[in-house]
């Protein structure tokens, strides 16, 4: 009997301790009330956003930012459904979408990248070059073998293997697909009248589908004879070979950091006031033909003032100090002129409660 009483006292003690802990935790939360900012969207900038979020933790330890990597399509949907504090997309919002946003929408350009054609051809004695006709035909499934005369003609010295070309494409609704398909529609009438422009387009039937940029990059890495389109940062991360593509002026350009900045600087005047820029075929001598942008989708009004101010502070930091982290991860550091415009757009976000 004595033992039982002892156990009973022990158990009630434990329960009391747990109850105390829980209440004190709740109290602590009420006292400080740290803002938790939830965002969701594009996969392309996700590695950079994660890096920014981690680095920003040291600047402002009080703010917690969470970013769910769900793809541009889903990011826009969640932003318009008002289930996140900010969205992220590689495709600019349409006027209709902006009109239907419950608290208004401001798009802020935060970083840019290049879409590259990554291939896996072990033992190739050089770098693959592709001109405009060839890569659009290849992505339409009209060139089926690597030693096709059209590819060999541009790469006379390459020992192209007698293998089938395996296309690796995105299975999900994707901003990267949008950038690629709008570029191809601009340069090839066959593409424009065939697959067209979209976050999802029709692909040749033997294409392999993979989810997300990381899925395509990983599948290219382990499939011999494959070629797929990914953002430069993902190809760089996995050290994939990327094809040199012919630009508008007929030069073959390798995607790298300098080319990215040069491409942005050469096309700066094309950026409209609302930042919803989209250049399907950039001009200039050393410009890379497939340039992609990515936006944060912000509410015009943040009813919760604390959330709104901390979010604005975070994005200001991303556009300033944060830009220095871009190129290491394979993103293009925004030229100052563009960053300035982004900051201007950010300033229009209101954080006082709406009347």
Partner 1 sequence: MKKPFLHNVETDSICQPPSPSVIFVDRAFRMLARLGVILVFSLIVVLVLEIGIKALPSIQKSGLDVITGTVWDVGQQKFGILPAIWGTLYSSLIALFVGGFFGISMAIFLTQDFLHPRLAAIFRAIVELLAAIPSVVYGLWGIFVVIPAIRPLTDELNESLGWIPFFSSTLSGPGLLPAALVLAIMILPTIAAVSQDALRAVPLRTKQAAYGMGTTHWEAILKVMVPTAATGIFGSLVLGLGRALGETMALAMLIGNSNQISLSLFAPANTLAAMLALNFPEAGPSEIEVLMYAALVLMLITLVVNVLGSMIITYAQRGMK
Q: Which residues in this chain contact partner 1 in the complex, by CB under 8 A? A: 71, 73-74, 163-164, 166, 171-173, 198, 200-202, 205-211, 219, 222-226
**CA R_g for the chain:** 24
Closest distance of CB 236 from partner 1, Å? 21
Closest distance of CB 188 from partner 1, Å? 18
Query: Of 173 and 351, which has the nearer Cβ to partner 1?
Result: 173
Closest distance of CB 164 from partner 1, Å? 5
Closest distance of CB 208 from partner 1, Å? 5
Query: Of 198 and 335, which has the nearer Cβ to partner 1?
Result: 198
Query: Of 212 and 322, which has the nearer Cβ to partner 1?
Result: 212
Closest distance of CB 172 from partner 1, Å? 5
Query: Of 163 and 258, which has the nearer Cβ to partner 1?
Result: 163
Backbone phi and psi for residue 63, each to the nearest 5 degrees, phi listed first: -95, 130
Helix orientation angle between 305-319 and 46-59, rounded to the nearest 10 degrees: 110
Closest distance of CB 228 from partner 1, Å? 11
Query: Of 220 and 332, which has the nearer Cβ to partner 1?
Result: 220
Q: Which two tokens stand for residue 111?
A: 């970083």
Closest distance of CB 209 from partner 1, Å? 4
Query: Of 208 and 254, which has the nearer Cβ to partner 1?
Result: 208
Closest distance of CB 123 from partner 1, Å? 12
Query: Of 161 and 335, which has the nearer Cβ to partner 1?
Result: 161
HEC letters along the chain: CHHHHHHHHHHHHHHHHHHHHHHHHHHHHHHHCCCEEEEEECCCCHHHHHHHHHHHHHHCCCCEEEEEECCHHHHHHHHHCCCCCEEEECCCCCHHHHHHCCCCEEEEEEEEEEEEEEEECCCCCCCCEECHHHHHHHHCCCCCECCCHHHHHHCCCCCCCCCECEEEEECCCCHHHHHHHHHHHHHCHHHHHCCCCCCCCCCCCCCEEECHHHHHHHHHHHCCCEEEEEEHHHHHHHCCEECEEECCCCCEECCCHHHHHHHHHHCHHHCCCCCCCCCCCCCCCCCCCCEEEEEEEEECECCCHHHHHHHHHHHHHHHCHHHHHCHHHCCECCCHHHHHHHHHHHHCCECCCCC
How many Å apart are CA 188 and CA 8, to the nearest integer?
Answer: 80
Query: Of 29 and 94, which has the nearer Cβ to partner 1?
Result: 94
Cβ distance 128 to 119 under 8 Å? yes
Find tokens 């950038």 and name the residue.
179
Closest distance of CB 223 from partner 1, Å? 3
Find, among 115, 111, 167, the residue nearest to 138 by Cα. 167
């Amino acid at each position: 009997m004595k033992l039982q009483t002892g156990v009973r006292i022990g158990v009630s003690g434990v329960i009391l301790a747990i109850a105390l802990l829980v209440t004190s935790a709740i109290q602590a939360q009420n006292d400080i009330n740290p803002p938790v900012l939830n965002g969701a969207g594009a996969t392309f900038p996700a590695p950079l956003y994660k890096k920014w979020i981690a680095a920003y933790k040291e600047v402002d330890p009080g703010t917690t930012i969470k970013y769910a990597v769900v793809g541009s399509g889903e990011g826009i949907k969640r932003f318009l459904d008002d289930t996140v504090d900010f969205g992220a997309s590689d495709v600019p919002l349409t006027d209709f979408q902006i009109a239907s946003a419950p608290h208004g929408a401001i798009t802020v350009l935060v970083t840019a990248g290049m879409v590259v054609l990554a291939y896996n051809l072990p033992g190739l004695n050089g770098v693959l070059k592709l001109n405009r006709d060839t890569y659009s035909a290849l992505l339409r499934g009209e060139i089926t073998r690597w030693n096709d005369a059209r590819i060999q003609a541009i790469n006379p010295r390459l020992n192209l293997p007698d293998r089938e070309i395996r296309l690796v494409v995105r299975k999900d609704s994707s901003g990267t697909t949008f950038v690629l398909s709008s570029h191809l529609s601009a340069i090839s009438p066959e593409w424009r009248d065939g697959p067209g422009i979209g976050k999802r387009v029709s692909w040749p039937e033997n294409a392999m589908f993979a989810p997300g940029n990381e899925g395509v990059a990983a599948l290219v890495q382990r499939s011999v004879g494959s070629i797929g389109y990914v953002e430069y940062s993902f190809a760089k991360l996995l050290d994939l070979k990327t094809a040199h593509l012919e630009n508008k002026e007929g030069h073959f350009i390798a995607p790298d950091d300098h080319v990215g900045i040069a491409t942005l600087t050469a096309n700066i005047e094309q950026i409209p006031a609302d930042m919803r820029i989209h250049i399907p075929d950039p001009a200039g001598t050393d410009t890379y033909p497939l340039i992609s942008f990515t936006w944060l989708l912000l509410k015009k009004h943040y009813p919760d003032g604390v959330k709104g101010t901390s979010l604005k502070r975070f994005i200001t930091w991303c556009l300033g100090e944060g830009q220095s982290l871009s190129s290491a991860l394979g993103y293009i550091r925004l030229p100052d002129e563009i960053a300035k415009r982004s900051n201007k757009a950010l300033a229009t976000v209101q954080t006082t409660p709406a009347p």
